[in-house]
Amino acid sequence: MAMWKRAFFLGLLLALVFAPCSETPLLSPACAAEQGAELYFTILHTNDEHSSLIPHSPAIDYHPELENKTVGGYARLATVVGRIRKEKAAAGEPVLLLSAGDFIGGSPYSWLVPAGHSPEISLIHQLGYDAATIGNHEFDYGSDNLVAYLRRAGYPEANEKTVLLASNMEVPAGHPAAGLFKEYQLLELENGLKVGLFGLIGRDAVSVAASPEPIKFADQHQTAKKMVSRLRGEGADVVVAITHAGVEEDRALARAVSGINVIVGGHCHTALSVPIQEEETIIVQAGSQLSHLGMLELAYDPRTERLRIRNRGSGGSGQPYLIPLDWECPLDPEVEALIAEHTEALNGLVGELTRGRFQDVMETVMISDFVIPTLPLQESPFGNFITDAMRLVAGAKLGKRVDVALQANGSIRGSITPGSLPGSRGHVPFYDLVELIGLGMGPEGTAGYPIVSFYVTGEELRRALEVAVLLPELYGDSFFLQFSGLRYQYNPANAILFTVPFINQPIPTTRAVTKAEIYTGEGVQGSDDKGYKLLKRGDQELYHVVTDLYIVSFLPMVGKILPHLEIVLKDADGNPVGEENLEKLIVYDQGRELKVWQAVVEYAAGQLLNEEGLPQASTYYEETSGRINPVQGVRYFTYLLLGLLLIGVAIVLLIIRRQIKKQHSIQV
């Protein structure tokens, strides 16, 4: 009997070894092609996580047991990813988990990065991400801090856990970032399918990266062509580009570079409820801040070498492309415990940065009965709140009047949304407030852009307003500027006179602003006409201005590009301050940099107290107050054409007159 058993098992083993193809779900591409079978796999993806470790929007409303409106959080994500992996494993289907970058930057948890912690990447490892690419916010604290952050997490060896792809990153020889990232990765999945991955950061993302120096970035299209060629040459059946570039750049990439099957994108925070099909490329993106987990179920046909989506359509699984990470998602206990450790570290850091004023990120700063919104491409109540805070708090710290404050929409990450649950109704905690305005880092190495103080003439202020009109026309909402201490009218149709063909160079009119007024009163500026003075062209009086160090670094560049809009930063005595001395403009508070977030927190905590003794947001910020006023009028180009027409008519009349005189003289 034992002999028969041994003979049976030996025969079975020989059959398995020499069988041309296995009948199990784990078919190799060759066997699948022979049997006419497709190979299934699933891509799970997130992007622009922005240090959103916990549920938010607002975080004060998070409750583990009650229904609430919060979204996101790595503990919810871990539960959903774990469930899908288990289901797919039972069906013999491989799963990839990918991130399209900007996993750092946004929430106060990112403040731990320059303080010597690596919270986001530790969670990425805990969840078992297969690969991630680098976004612009990974450079919020400079390339040196990014290197230290990744080395604490075990890189470059940790590429065996989660490979960091930066295909078009150019690291100078000898820089500590050398060797931390990979250009591409070829993965062989459990079913034998070979998937090639590479990662790109796009042009727009590079243009807004805070401090990537001395790292540079190669052209994304040329890089993609090289990566596709290498991966195909090494046997990749499917090529996936993980990009931090935005949907429009992704579409352009798909048109320009053949051979990319899937683009997992990020940067523009678009939640694509249905993938975009551009040429032969599938493009997906999952919003931002872990509001959703993207899910793309795919089938590869080895005979035709084509890829198809399985989520929807005839015979599809019916699975959504985006899975909401809302209150119905349970928390993964191991991930929740890891987040609690990071929260403890963050509370200690906040206590240090606020000199003990706040020691818990969920401590209430202010009460508000209404949302204070951020609005795209226009004056917004929260923009007014921020710039008022910068102007008034900086003035108090400096002991002198500040005339104007300005801030860009790109640095404002959302609206103040008070709590709505019975235990949190109306509360605005430290976390939810600074999450909206806490980007960047100053020279002293702590999180948050510092406020800077300088002087310009009235004429230069008017030029700054012309620039404020021009930039959004060219670059969109991120470059729209909010102001405190002045108000102005402008005709948006007059921002650009015309665009030079072939070189695509816009020519500004410098006549878009039709009226500008400076506020001369005390405190918050009113909506009536009291306390305003006309800001005339050619005004040489000096005015005191504050903004942040990031924004001020762009102002000297204006004059280099458009000399007639030059803005020269000055000290209180009118002496020019060169670009190399911008850090000397930083405002300090008791020996520390005065941060934008600090001014906003102090301003919020300084609102008038309500009956319960808590700061209550002023109803002034329920709506806008007439600071930035677009007006309709005749386009400047129309005036130009009319002028040219009149000149032409005058020339014609002059010629006719001369002809008449000439005829008259001949007759005489």
Q: Is residue 558 part of a domain?
A: yes
Q: Is residue 355 part of a domain?
A: no
Q: Kindly tell me if the per-residue pLDDT of 6 is higher than 90.
A: no
pLDDT value at residue 643: 54
Residue 34, phi-psi category: left (phi > 0), alpha (psi -120 to 50), beta (remainder)? alpha
Q: Kindly tell me if the per-residue pLDDT of 653 is higher than 70.
A: no
Question: Using CA atoms, how far apart are residues 189 and 88, in angstroms rounded to an integer?
Answer: 13
pLDDT value at residue 474: 86
Q: Is residue 25 part of a domain?
A: no
Let me know whether 329 and 367 are in one domain.
no
Question: Using CA atoms, how far apart are residues 598 and 389, in angstroms rounded to an integer?
Answer: 9
pLDDT value at residue 570: 97
pLDDT tens per residue, range 48-58: 999 999 999 99
Let me know whether 257 and 395 are in one domain.
no
> Which among 314, 334, 354 is the end of a domain?
334
Q: What is the average per-residue pLDDT within 248-269?
A: 98
Q: Which residues contact 647 (CB under 8 A, 6 or more apart)?
A: none
Q: Chain-wide mean pLDDT for the chain?
A: 91
> Which among 288, 315, 334 is the end of a domain?
334
Q: Is residue 623 part of a domain?
A: yes
Query: Closest Cα to residue 77, out of 42, 126, 43?
Result: 126
List, in sequence order, every residue forming a beta bridge with 454; answer none if it has no partner: 545
Q: Kindly tell me if the per-residue pLDDT of 657 is higher than 90.
A: no
pTM for this model (two decimals): 0.88
Compute the half-sphere exposure of residue 157: CA atoms within 13 Å on the CB side of its CA. Answer: 4
Let me know whether 90 and 208 are in one domain.
yes
Let me know whether 657 and 522 are in one domain.
no
pLDDT tens per residue, range 526-558: 989 999 999 999 999 999 999 999 999 988 888
Answer with the residue of higher pLDDT: 462 or 2.
Answer: 462
pLDDT tens per residue, range 484-517: 999 999 999 998 887 777 667 778 888 999 999 9
pLDDT value at residue 373: 97
Q: Kindly tell me if the per-residue pLDDT of 638 is higher than 60.
A: no
pLDDT value at residue 1: 41
Q: Is residue 26 part of a domain?
A: no
Instruction: Decide: residue 125, CB within 10 A, 0-12 exposed, 13-18 middle, 19+ buried.
Output: middle
Number of domains in the chain: 3
Q: Which amino acid is at 101?
A: G
Let me know whether 484 and 623 are in one domain.
yes
- 8 Å CB contact between 442 and 449: yes
What's the CATH code of the domain at 155?
Answer: 3.60.21.10
Let me know whether 566 and 605 are in one domain.
yes
Element (H, E) at 98: strand 95-99
Q: What is the average per-residue pLDDT within 165-182?
A: 96
Q: Kindly tell me if the per-residue pLDDT of 370 is higher than 70.
A: yes
Structure letter (DSSP) for residue 626: S
Q: Which amino acid is at 166?
A: A
Let me know whether 379 and 457 are in one domain.
yes
pLDDT value at residue 651: 72
Let me know whether 652 and 620 are in one domain.
no
pLDDT value at residue 615: 98
Q: Pull the structure tokens for residue 261.
A: 């099957």
Question: Using CA atoms, how far apart are residues 68 and 60, in angstroms rounded to an integer?
Answer: 10
What's the CATH code of the domain at 541?
Answer: 3.90.780.10
Question: Using CA atoms, how far apart are residues 579 and 3, in angstroms rounded to an integer?
Answer: 89
Let me know whether 605 and 640 are in one domain.
no
Q: Kindly tell me if the per-residue pLDDT of 16 is higher than 70.
A: no
Residues of the chain above pLDDT 90, percent: 80
- 8 Å CB contact between 366 and 431: no
- 8 Å CB contact between 374 and 621: no
Tell me the residue range of the domain where 641 lies: 633-661
Question: Using CA atoms, how far apart are residues 139 and 142, in angstroms rounded to an integer?
Answer: 5
Q: Is residue 63 part of a domain?
A: yes
- Residue showing tokens 């008034």: 392
pLDDT tens per residue, range 209-247: 989 999 999 999 999 999 999 999 999 999 999 999 999
Element (H, E) at 117: none
Q: Which residues contact 132 (CB under 8 A, 6 or more apart)?
A: 98, 99, 100, 101, 103, 124, 162, 163, 164, 165, 199, 242
Q: Is residue 329 part of a domain?
A: yes
pLDDT value at residue 560: 81
Q: Which amino acid is at 68?
A: N
Question: Using CA atoms, how far apart are residues 161 and 192, in angstroms rounded to an integer?
Answer: 20
Q: Which amino acid is at 15?
A: A
> Which among 319, 334, 349 is the end of a domain?
334
pLDDT value at residue 660: 66
Q: ∠ CA(121), CA(215), CA(434), 5° rounding?
A: 50
Let me know whether 236 and 281 are in one domain.
yes
pLDDT value at residue 460: 96
Q: Is residue 18 part of a domain?
A: no
Q: What is the average per-residue pLDDT within 430-449?
A: 96
Let me know whether 66 and 183 are in one domain.
yes
Answer with the residue of higher pLDDT: 19 or 332.
Answer: 332
pLDDT value at residue 11: 44
Q: What is the average per-residue pLDDT within 604-621?
A: 97
List, in sequence order, every residue forming a beta bridge with 404; answer none if it has no partner: 545
Question: Using CA atoms, how far apart are residues 413 and 600, in angstroms rounded to an integer?
Answer: 14
- 8 Å CB contact between 58 and 38: no
Let me know whether 299 and 391 are in one domain.
no
